[in-house]
Chain A
Amino acid sequence: GGIITQTPKFLIGQEGQKLTLKCQQNFNHDTMYWYRQDSGKGLRLIYYSITENDLQKGDLSEGYDASREKKSSFSLTVTSAQKNEMAVFLCASSRDRAGQNTLYFGAGTRLSVL
């Protein structure tokens, strides 16, 4: 088996601040994802990457940057935190195409912006 580790678990930021979330997986999976989870809105895809140094925009990419410098890691940057923003950011990976393979998720990073 494997595991997805997201750091930090909790992140408190200030309005306008640039914030970085990190994700590591030891499944040796090719594809990694960042989803945003808001109450009542489900999971919305921010960015994904099908291999090292690849980046694909999801439905919610505005206001975010991402980086896949190694196969095992995928980071997400909130470029300018919005006041009173509260959300959970979920990282996931899959062996290959999401349509054929199971997505494995981390436990999430909970963001609060003061």
Chain B
Amino acid sequence: GDSVTQTEGQVALSEEDFLTIHCNYSASGYPTLFWYVQYPGEGPQLLFRASRDKEKGSSRGFEATYDKGTTSFHLRKASVQESDSAVYYCALSDTEGADRLTFGKGTQLIIQP
């Protein structure tokens, strides 16, 4: 079945550091890929999505590029802020018509001031 692998369970950085959270996927079709963010006490919310190879999704200074060759969708931000502290989830749907998403295990991002 489909799966999403986030290798980092937790990332700790200082303000203005560069962020990378790795996401690799396995899917039978041509999936749509998503990043969701969850702030403390809230439900996850969509950060952005990408549907095609080489498509870049971006929002709030975060970005990720769909790479079908390496089956990856790594999240990056050039300069993190304390307010970025949250849990980040990579997810996929195996087709645009799919009813459901498959989520990774999540990465807790901790930013120290």
Contacts and interface: CB of A to CB of B under 8 A. Distances in A.
Interface of A: 4, 31, 33, 35, 40-45, 48, 50, 56, 58, 90, 92, 97-100, 102-108
14 contacts: A4-B43, A31-B99, A43-B103, A43-B106, A90-B44, A97-B96, A97-B98, A98-B93, A98-B99, A98-B101, A99-B93, A100-B96, A105-B44, A107-B41
B26 interface: no
A98 B100 contact: yes
A84 to B, nearest CB: 21
Given A90-B43, A106-B43, A107-B42, A98 B105 contact: no
**Chain B, interface SS category:** loop
Contact of B98 (A41, A99, A108): A99
A103 B106 CA distance: 16
A103 B105 CA distance: 17
Contacts of B104: 42
B43 A107 contact: yes
B79 to A, nearest CB: 27
B32 interface: yes
A35 B100 CA distance: 11
Contact of B100 (A4, A33, A100, A105): A33
A103 B99 CA distance: 11
B46 interface: yes
Contacts of B81: none
Contacts of A107: 41-43
Nearest to A6: B43
A48 B42 contact: no
Q: Which 10 A-B pairs have the closest CB atoms?
A: A105-B43, A99-B93, A42-B105, A99-B98, A43-B103, A99-B96, A102-B46, A42-B103, A42-B106, A98-B101
Contacts of B36: 103
A56 B100 CA distance: 10
A33 B102 CA distance: 12
